[in-house]
C-alpha cells in the first residue's frame, strides 16, 4: 500500500514544551490508522500540523506525495476533517449546514445534492434534515458534525475524537459510518483515547504519549508487547487472605490481588489457567460468584510501556 500521508521528524514546540517530539509515521492508502493516547499526548496537535492549521517547529509533511502548505488547495480539496469540537452553524438547519460546507468543495449543484443525500444517509439524519443544531441531542450533533466534514467525499479523512460524550447508539452509528467510508475507498486517520474503538476499528494503531510514538502496529502486534497473556477476575465474598500468597507462588502467575470482593490474577503464559484456578479455589472451600477471563487490552500495553493508565 502506498503512503497517502508521510510525516517525517515532526516537532511542535509551545515556548519550551514539546507538544510533538520528532514524530515520524505514515498513513497508508485505504487503511484506518488509529492515533491512540491520553489527553495531552499530542494527537490533536499532530492533526493540526498535518492540516497546516498550526506552524510546526521542525519536520516535513507530505500528503498525496506533495508538500502540505496552507495554500495547497489541490490537496485540501480531497481532505475531510471532523474536529473534536462540533463546528456547525446554529442558525442553519441540518441540510443547510451540510450544503454550506459541501458547497465550499463541490460547485455543481446536482452533484452536491447527491453528495448531501449520501452524507445524510450515512450518518442517519434523514428525519432531522430540517432541524436546527440546538434541537439535536449530543449524539445527533456529532453525526451532523461528521456529515459536514465528509459530504464532499474526500479521499483522506481525519477524525479527531468524534465519539466524545456520545450515547451508545450514536457511537455505533458513527463507527459503522467510518467503516463504510473506508470500504468506499477513503483513507482514515482516527484519533481517540478510547482503546476499545481503535481495537475494533483500526487496521493499524500508533500509541502516543507526551508527543512521542511509544508503540505502533496492529492490535495483536501491540498486545504482544504486554508481558501478560491472560487476566482473570473473580467476584467472591468468601476469600481467605492467606490463600493469596499461595496463588502468587503458583506457576505462570504474574500478579494476584484482592480488593473490594474482587480477586484479579494475571498470568504471564500457560494454558487452562481458569480451569486450574477454579479447581484450586474449590479445594480451598472458596466459592465464586462470577468469573471473567480476558486477553490483555491496549490499556495493559500502555500500562506496561508507560507505567500509567491510558485515562490517567
71 binds other proteins (CB under 8 A): yes
Work out which of 10, 20, 79, 226 binds other proteins, going by CB under 8 A.
Answer: 79
Which of 83, 128, 239, 267 binds other proteins (CB under 8 A)? It is 83
Q: Is 76 in the site for other proteins (CB under 8 A)?
A: yes
Residue 66 burial (C-beta neighbours within 10 Å; 0-12, 13-18, 19+): exposed
**232-252 core/surface letters (b: 16 or more CB in 10 A; e: else):** bebebeebeeebeeebeeeee
Applying CB under 8 A, among 25, 64, 95, 101 the residue interacting with other proteins is 101
Rounded least distance, CB 105 to other proteins, Å: 6
From start to end of the chain, where are the E strands?
A: 3-14, 17-28, 32-36, 58-63, 66-67, 79-82, 156-160, 187-192, 204-209, 212-217, 230-235, 253-259, 262-267, 290-294
Largest Cα–Cα separation, the chain? 76
Per rule CB under 8 A, count of chain residues that contact other proteins: 32
246-275 residues near other proteins, rule: CB under 8 A: none
Q: Which stretch binds other proteins (CB under 8 A): 23-31, 52-60, 262-270, 278-286?
A: 52-60
219 binds other proteins (CB under 8 A): no
Q: Which stretch binds other proteins (CB under 8 A): 32-40, 53-61, 239-247, 270-278?
A: 53-61
Does 53 bind other proteins (CB under 8 A)? Our answer is yes
- CA distance readout (Å), 210 to 12, 160, 162, 194, 206: 12, 17, 21, 17, 13
> Do the bridges between strand 32-36 and strand 204-209 make them parallel or antiparallel, or are there none, so unpaired?
parallel
Q: Which is nearer to other proteins, 187 or 219 (CB)?
A: 187
Among 3, 40, 62, 105, binds other proteins (CB under 8 A): 105
Helix (H, G, I), strand (E, B) or coil at 143: helix
| Part in contact with other proteins (CB under 8 A); list of ranges 25-33, 85-93, 213-221, 254-262 | 85-93
CA 275, CA 302: separation in Å to the nearest integer? Answer: 28
| 231, three cell numbers | 487476566
Write the burial class of residue 260 (CB in 10 Å: 0-12 exposed, 13-18 middle, 19+ buried).
Answer: exposed
> By C-alpha distance, which of 180, 216, 219, 220 is closest to 202?
219
- Encoded one letter per residue, x for contact with other proteins by CB under 8 A and - for no contact, window 5-44 reads ---------x------------------------------
Question: Rounded distance, CA 124 to CA 118, Å?
Answer: 10
CB of 98 to other proteins, least distance (A): 11
Instruction: Please report how close the Cβ of residue 27 comes to other proteins at its closest, in angstroms.
Output: 17
Q: With contacts defined by CB under 8 A, name the span among 92-100, 178-186, 197-205, 273-281 that binds other proteins.
A: 92-100
Residue numbers at the binding site for other proteins (CB under 8 A): 14, 48, 51, 53-55, 70-71, 73-74, 76-77, 79, 81, 83, 85-92, 96, 100-101, 103-105, 107, 148-149
Amino acid at each position: 500500500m502506498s503512503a497517502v500521508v508521510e510525516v517525517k521528524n515532526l516537532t511542535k514546540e509551545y515556548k519550551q514544551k514539546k507538544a510533538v517530539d520528532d514524530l515520524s509515521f505514515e498513513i497508508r492508502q485505504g487503511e484506518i490508522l488509529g492515533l491512540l493516547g491520553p489527553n495531552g499526548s499530542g494527537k490533536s496537535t499532530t492533526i493540526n500540523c498535518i492540516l497546516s492549521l498550526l506552524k510546526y517547529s521542525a519536520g516535513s509533511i507530505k500528503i498525496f506525495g506533495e508538500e502540505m502548505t496552507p495554500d495547497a488547495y489541490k490537496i485540501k480539496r480531497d481532505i475531510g476533517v471532523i474536529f473534536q469540537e462540533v463546528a456547525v452553524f446554529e442558525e442553519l438547519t441540518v441540510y443547510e449546514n451540510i450544503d454550506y460546507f459541501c458547497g465550499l468543495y463541490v460547485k455543481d449543484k446536482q452533484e452536491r445534492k447527491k453528495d448531501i443525500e449520501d452524507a445524510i444517509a450515512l450518518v442517519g439524519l434523514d428525519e432531522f434534515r430540517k432541524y436546527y443544531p440546538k434541537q439535536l441531542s449530543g449524539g445527533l450533533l456529532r453525526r451532523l458534525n461528521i456529515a459536514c466534514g465528509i459530504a464532499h467525499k474526500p479521499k483522506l479523512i481525519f477524525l479527531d475524537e468524534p465519539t466524545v460524550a456520545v450515547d451508545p447508539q450514536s457511537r455505533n452509528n458513527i463507527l459503522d459510518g467510518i467503516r463504510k467510508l473506508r470500504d468506499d475507498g477513503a483513507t482514515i486517520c482516527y484519533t481517540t483515547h478510547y482503546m476499545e474503538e481503535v481495537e475494533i476499528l483500526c487496521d493499524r494503531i500508533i500509541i502516543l504519549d507526551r508527543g512521542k510514538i511509544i508503540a505502533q502496529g496492529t492490535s495483536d502486534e501491540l498486545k504482544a508487547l504486554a508481558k501478560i497473556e491472560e487476566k482473570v477476575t473473580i467476584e467472591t465474598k468468601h476469600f481467605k487472605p492467606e490463600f493469596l500468597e499461595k496463588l502468587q507462588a503458583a506457576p505462570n502467575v504474574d500478579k494476584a490481588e484482592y480488593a473490594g470482593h474482587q480477586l484479579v490474577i494475571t498470568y504471564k503464559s500457560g494454558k487452562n489457567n481458569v480451569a486450574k484456578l477454579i479447581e484450586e479455589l474449590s479445594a480451598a472451600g472458596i466459592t465464586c460468584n462470577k468469573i471473567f477471563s480476558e486477553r490483555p487490552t491496549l490499556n495493559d500495553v500502555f500500562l506496561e510501556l508507560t507505567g500509567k493508565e491510558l485515562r490517567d
